[in-house]
Amino acid sequence: MSEPAPEASAQAALKFVADGQTLGLGTGRAAEAFVRALGARVADGLQVRGVPTSERTEALARELGIPLTTLAEAGRLDVTFDGADEVDPALDVIKGYGAALVREKIVAASSDQLVILVGAEKLVPHLGARGRLPVEVIPFAETLAHARLAELGCPAERRSDPSGAPVITDNGNLVLDARVSKIAEPGDLDRRILSVPGVLGTGLFVGMADAVVIQDGEDVEVRQR
């Protein structure tokens, strides 16, 4: 069965938007649905600026006529809207299946609020339930990162596209998908992985989400930290 279209959660997330704000625009299916909903509001006269987290989101926002700026120009953002691959009961999340994790985390950390949009199927009892933790590394550090991740009990594989070529992030780096199960201490694991030279970021977003908009069919629930 296919996942329901995320338009209902995108419309609910618009309630966090106010005229004059500068918004972080995430990457992925749910985030793109939000960007499309935002574009319709902009066409009706809403005055906002966006900071995209990926080249793909930037292209979509420009197509929809959403004014864009850079993080350097904006400084602090009001709200970032993004999707997630897992959300646990504490509203901690795993992101990065779309390979934009580092830019997404930078934009989220630059924002006063982070609003996550997910389908109910992304809710998990604990982080790591789907068995995969994305890690972005510079190419020169790949061998070291593989070794250290294995030592941490998270053996990893380089992510490849359908042709077998390495997936390259917008930053020009590789994504390693670490195998995980139940992550008992997400913050501790994040710090341990980040201590490996050449690792730029993990998909663990711990203590960052202020609200999660959950769509279950056409029903929408908002959970706030």
Alpha helices in 75-224 (DSSP H): 101-109, 142-151, 186-194
Joined together, the tokens standing for residue 146 give 């593989």
Query: Which pLDDT score is estimated for 4?
Result: 64
Which one from 32, 86, 104, 136 is the annotated catalytic residue? Answer: 104
Query: Which pLDDT score is estimated for 1?
Result: 42
HSE toward the beta carbon, residue 151, CA cutoff 13 A? 9
7-123+206-224 and 132-202 in the same fold: no
Query: Which pLDDT score is estimated for 6?
Result: 85
Contact (CB, 8 A) for 22 and 48: yes
CATH number for the 7-123+206-224 domain, one of 3.40.50.620, 3.40.50.1360, 3.40.50.10190, 3.40.50.300?
A: 3.40.50.1360
Instruction: Please say if 104 is a catalytic residue.
Output: yes
Residues of the chain below pLDDT 70: 1-4
The CATH class of 132-202 is alpha beta
Pick from 98, 45, 34, 96: nearest CA to 67: 45
Helices 55-64 + 29-43 axis angle, to 10: 20
For the chain, the structural domain boundaries read: 7-123+206-224, 132-202
